[in-house]
Amino acid sequence: MIPTVEKEPKRFWENTDISSLTAIRYSEVISLRPDYTPHWLKDALITLFHIASLPENWDSYGGPTPSSTAVNNALTFMRAVQVEDLPVPNIVPVPGGGIQIEWSIAHRELELEFLSDGSVEYLEMEDEKPIHEDKIEPANTSQLQSLLLWLTHATTRKTR
């Protein structure tokens, strides 16, 4: 018999604050703590997990199922955003196995595309016009935070 390493995705989404003896697999659960869950996160997670289970050819153009890398990166990002005053984001699958998260506040819109290869791209829009786009490192939470800061300061009409 050839021993194998149990291949599992990173387990950062797993519940770690209940019992440490558990090894839940069938039902990986994102725990929601009332004192630590932004109001938009519950609905956003439900949408994300529905999208994650889309079948192949979900768009009838041969689109692949969203990749676990894209889903996990989007999940990590959303769980890291401890910002209460955001609306529920629009989350959509994109061709190629990626996930796009869109937030609109006043005249500003932020689109974050989590691609199947693990990279992340963003687009800032103002008054429905693109003003800035680039790639970011998914692990660079400070960069992601600064994008959200730009978005949540949408009441001031000054661009960077």
Helix (H) or strand (E) holding 74: helix 68-80
Residue in 10, 50, 132, 153 binding another protein, rule: CB under 8 A? 50
- Strands of 44-155, DSSP E: 90-94, 98-105, 108-114, 120-126, 129-136
> Among residues 10, 12, 53, 95, which is the contact residue for another protein, using CB under 8 A?
53
Interface with another protein includes 12 (CB under 8 A)? no
Interior/surface letters 85-106, b for 16+ CB within 10 angstroms, e for the rest: ebeebebebbeebbbbbebbbe
Cβ-based nearer residue to another protein, 6 or 56: 6
What are 81's two structure tokens? 């955003």
Minimum Å gap between C-beta 66 and another protein is 13
Q: Rounded CA gap, 18 and 20, in Å?
A: 6
The size of the interface with another protein (CB under 8 A), counted in residues, is 37
Pick the stretch among 3-11, 115-123, 138-146, 148-156 that binds another protein (CB under 8 A): 3-11
Alpha carbon distances (Å) from 125 to 62, 110, 131: 29, 6, 5
Write down the least CB distance from residue 51 to another protein, Å: 9
* Residues 20-49 close enough to bind another protein by CB under 8 A: 20-34, 37, 39, 42, 45-49
Binding site for another protein (CB under 8 A): 1, 3-6, 8, 13, 15, 17-34, 37, 39, 42, 45-50, 52-53
